[in-house]
Amino acid sequence: MLRTICLRRDIDLLFAQRQNLARAGRQTSVLSAVYVIREISERPQEAGIHLLLIVPKRFIKHSNKRNAIKRWIKEALRRSPMLSTIEATLQESGKQLLLGIRGDQAPSKTMNWDAVSKDIEIILSQLSKNLQI
């Protein structure tokens, strides 16, 4: 189950200690991702994946287009079979993954459902390599 990063300290930690996972134009076509893995000892129910979706208003002016991109990312993550494997591994090891996914392009011929779903698969496969799953 994906949870959203809500706390300011978690967002600050994600950007202070981030590791690049994928960069748009290099590994992926339309999305980029950063992540941080941390140990959770005092609250084991908090282990798993916590997600931060970033779709800047600076690049995509209309809120309906920003929301569409966020829905595409969430749906692509939900449909991915690798997500449950990563989630189970994190639960077993008692770790928490803070994952930030950023989309910088408005919906177009290049930024569509197919491109987003392919990029999510690339991001999750790189993440599973980094976690040694």
Beta-carbon contacts of 115 under 8 Å, excluding residues fewer than 6 positions away, are 29, 30
Q: Is 117 exposed, middle or buried (0-12, 13-18, 19+ CB in 10 A)?
A: middle
SS3 43: coil
* pLDDT greater at residue 1 or residue 78: 78
Q: Is the pLDDT of residue 133 over 60?
A: no
Amino acid 81: pLDDT: 92
Q: What is the CATH number of the domain that holds 80?
A: 3.30.230.10
- What was the pLDDT predicted at 64? 93
């408005």: which residue's tokens?
106
Residue pair 35/18 in contact (Cβ under 8 Å)? The answer is yes
Q: Which residue range(s) make up the domain with 109?
A: 3-130
pLDDT at 41: 67
Number of domains in the chain: 1
Top pLDDT among 44 and 47 is at 47
Element (H, E) at 83: helix 81-93
Q: What angle do CA 133, 52, 26 make, to 5 degrees?
A: 65
Nearest one of 119, 108, 11 to 75, comparing CA atoms = 119
For β-strands 19-22 and 31-39, DSSP reports them as antiparallel
Residues 7-30: pLDDT tens digits?
A: 999 999 999 999 998 888 788 999
